[in-house]
Amino acid sequence: MPWRGAFSISEYEGTYRMAEYSSLEKIRLQKIEELRAQGIEPYPTRAERTHTSLQAIAALEAAPAGEETEIRATLAGRIRATRPMGKLVFTHIEDGEGKIQLFLRVNEIGQEKIDFFNKYYDLGDFIQASGVMMRTRTGEATLQVHDFKMLAKAVSPLPAAKDETLDDGTLVRHAALEDAEIRARQRYADLAVNAHIRENFRQRAAIVKALRSYLDGEGFLEVETPILQPLYGGAAARPFVTHHNELEQDMYLRISFELYLKRLLVGNLERVYEIGRDFRNEGVSFKHNPEFTQLEFYCAYADYLKVMELTENMIGHVCDTVFGTRKFTFEKEPGKAYELDFSTPWRRLEMRQGILETSGIDIAEYPTAEALFKAIVTRHPHKTPDPHVTRGKLIDFLLGEFLEPTLIQPTFLHDYPRDISPLAKPKPGDPLTVERFEGYVAGFELCNAFTELNDPLDQEQRFLDMQTDYSDDEEEKNPLDEDYLRAMRYGMPPNGGFGMGVDRLTMLLTNNRSIREVLLFPALRKEE
């Protein structure tokens, strides 16, 4: 907000650096000043509440007929609608659980208080009201107010206006806050006004809790590893760089947890997991945010087949405990909804087979990048991949172009090319392929897992190969982590590892097609 000079009210003049106030805000500031002039503090320090909105309604419903007037309650919440009628006022307040109607009546509180309410209370203000529970003529559970108090005056009007409930119970939103930018930038206003958004985030919290409870139940230890790292690794992504002044060295925000968690397996912690933030300095899109929540776990003496079972059971557990069902509707595009079924077992599909079925190309017949490239351009002349990439990248291209869009129901796509999987263990008898799978749902990648490479000499060679393979591609070049190799030389048990974007899982289960909808404060350019 540009500074445009102080608001003229004497109370504030010269005292604060004032934003530019709208005419609506100036009126509310005037009300604040008038309240203070009357000795009424518009921001009192303490509040009281005996019932939440739901508790008050439940108490009324539980009361035997004729004893309703015994139910005294003090409620607190934000004013969302007012209907003043001269000698009566109906108003709805909203608290953390829902809405409840307040009824101010001249017979109980007198005209003076009615007028005072109408003059000084606005939509958005926090109010405390006490009285007795009653039912209106239409049967709505309502608090008949005997006394009320301002808890916090809102200077700025909330962006949304009103809801209408039709006879059939449908909620129609009028002048609702829909602007995507305002909703994301001012999430506080979005949450205050859009109850269904609050529900999204409650569900997200429940999902994370259910993931934890499943892994805890399976004997996994939750750990925390460094976010600020001297080297980054475990994924192919550009990192954020920062600098430590005293140590006089650059530090990186982690792009994955993998290399630290596997060090713990060397230390005989057999089952570990971490839920936390990864940072990738890359493009922002409806499914990418520069920081996102990742779950990784590593399980000693397991292979990727065991990890598949853990995965489908873990997600099944989340579905059951949070939603009570394994069937979900996901609207990937407007008007294009999928019915997803997370029942176990998920479909297993070998990548070679999947690519053959969807593109007509059997990658096993083309063991070199040159041969595979030729096969692709011959069969699909209108779809041309970059000719200078590795065989693994070409397979990735086929996967993205042809196979991925067909993977709607939960599917484990398994057995990946070795050269795009430098931390995965080769399949016995097939040196070009590693034991890796990705979980696909609704046509996009949900998770990634493999039988972890635990041969320190092979690992060292893979790192060196990466350095040369991508020598002309700085962005792909991961630093060689000598300490990780040192750890592995002490001996790492065979193990299966797993990583999943928690934001993406939340998107799927809450039917949100944009990652912004499941992040409270998604990354945005700074405002002017």
Partner RNA sequence: GGGCGUGUAGCUCAAUGGCAGAGCAGCGGCCUUUUAAGCCGUUUGUUGAGAGUUCGAGCCUCUCCACGCUCACCA
> Among residue numbers 211 through 240, which ones bind RNA (CB under 7 A)?
234-237
Could you tell me if 375 and 396 are in contact, meaning their C-beta atoms sit under 8 angstroms apart? no
Q: Which of 75, 146, 84 is nearest to 120 (CA)?
A: 84
Q: Which of 322, 253, 342, 348 is nearest to 294 (CA)?
A: 253
Q: Which of 500, 440, 510 is nearest to 293 (CA)?
A: 500
**Residue span binding RNA (CB under 7 A) among the ranges 8-16, 37-45, 297-305, 391-399:** 391-399
Nearer to RNA, 161 or 206 (CB): 161
- DSSP letters of 272-339? EEEEEEEE--S--BTTB-SEEEEEEEEEET--HHHHHHHHHHHHHHHIIIIIS-SEEEEEEETTEEEE
Q: Out of 131, 392, 410, 496, point to the residue binding RNA (CB under 7 A).
A: 392
Q: Out of 78, 92, 352, 414, point to the residue binding RNA (CB under 7 A).
A: 92
Smallest distance from RNA to CB 213, Å: 28
Residue 66 binds RNA, judged by CB under 7 A: no
Smallest distance from RNA to CB 274, Å: 17
Cα(401)–Cα(238) distance, integer angstroms: 24
Q: Out of 10, 23, 245, 268, point to the residue binding RNA (CB under 7 A).
A: 23
Residue 386 binds RNA, judged by CB under 7 A: yes
Site size with RNA, rule: CB under 7 A: 77
Q: Which of 491, 484, 426, 481 is nearest to 454 (CA)?
A: 491
Cα(359)–Cα(356) distance, integer angstroms: 6
Chain-centroid distance of CA 252 in Å reads 23
Cα(149)–Cα(475) distance, integer angstroms: 60
**Residue span binding RNA (CB under 7 A) among the ranges 20-28, 44-52, 68-76, 290-298:** 20-28
H helices present in 380-481, as ranges: 391-398, 456-469
Residue 501 binds RNA, judged by CB under 7 A: no
Smallest distance from RNA to CB 359, Å: 15
Residue 474 binds RNA, judged by CB under 7 A: no
Residue 465 binds RNA, judged by CB under 7 A: no
Residue 191 binds RNA, judged by CB under 7 A: no
Smallest distance from RNA to CB 389, Å: 8
178: which residues sit within 8 A by CB, 6+ positions away? none
Could you tell me if 511 and 330 are in contact, meaning their C-beta atoms sit under 8 angstroms apart? yes
Could you tell me if 191 and 198 are in contact, meaning their C-beta atoms sit under 8 angstroms apart? yes
**Residue span binding RNA (CB under 7 A) among the ranges 88-96, 313-321, 339-347, 358-366:** 88-96
Q: Out of 22, 242, 343, 384, point to the residue binding RNA (CB under 7 A).
A: 22
Q: Which of 402, 514, 26 is nearest to 9 (CA)?
A: 26
Distances (CA, A) of 254 to 75, 213, 374, 505: 46, 25, 38, 21
Smallest distance from RNA to CB 372, Å: 14
Cα(505)–Cα(512) distance, integer angstroms: 10
Cα(48)–Cα(75) distance, integer angstroms: 8
112: which residues sit within 8 A by CB, 6+ positions away? none
Smallest distance from RNA to CB 283, Å: 3
Smallest distance from RNA to CB 416, Å: 7
**Residue span binding RNA (CB under 7 A) among the ranges 64-72, 222-230, 374-382, 417-425:** 417-425
Q: Out of 52, 53, 74, 142, point to the residue binding RNA (CB under 7 A).
A: 142
Smallest distance from RNA to CB 447, Å: 12
Q: Out of 155, 423, 441, 488, point to the residue binding RNA (CB under 7 A).
A: 423
**Residue span binding RNA (CB under 7 A) among the ranges 67-75, 116-124, 202-210, 486-494:** 116-124
Could you tell me if 29 and 12 are in contact, meaning their C-beta atoms sit under 8 angstroms apart? yes
| Lookup: tokens for 262 | 């596997």
Nearer to RNA, 226 or 400 (CB): 400
**Residue span binding RNA (CB under 7 A) among the ranges 67-75, 202-210, 240-248, 471-479:** 471-479
Q: Out of 59, 73, 100, 184, point to the residue binding RNA (CB under 7 A).
A: 184
268: which residues sit within 8 A by CB, 6+ positions away? none
Nearer to RNA, 162 or 277 (CB): 162
| Of residues 334-373, those binding RNA (CB under 7 A) | none
Beta-strand (E) ranges in 452-522? 495-501
Could you tell me if 297 and 260 are in contact, meaning their C-beta atoms sit under 8 angstroms apart? no
**Residue span binding RNA (CB under 7 A) among the ranges 119-127, 207-215, 308-316, 322-330:** 119-127
Smallest distance from RNA to CB 286, Å: 4
Smallest distance from RNA to CB 86, Å: 3
| Of residues 252-291, those binding RNA (CB under 7 A) | 280, 282-283, 285-286, 288
Q: Out of 316, 354, 410, 422, point to the residue binding RNA (CB under 7 A).
A: 422
Using DSSP's 3-state secondary structure scheme, residue 453 falls into: coil
**Residue span binding RNA (CB under 7 A) among the ranges 19-27, 69-77, 292-300, 314-322:** 19-27
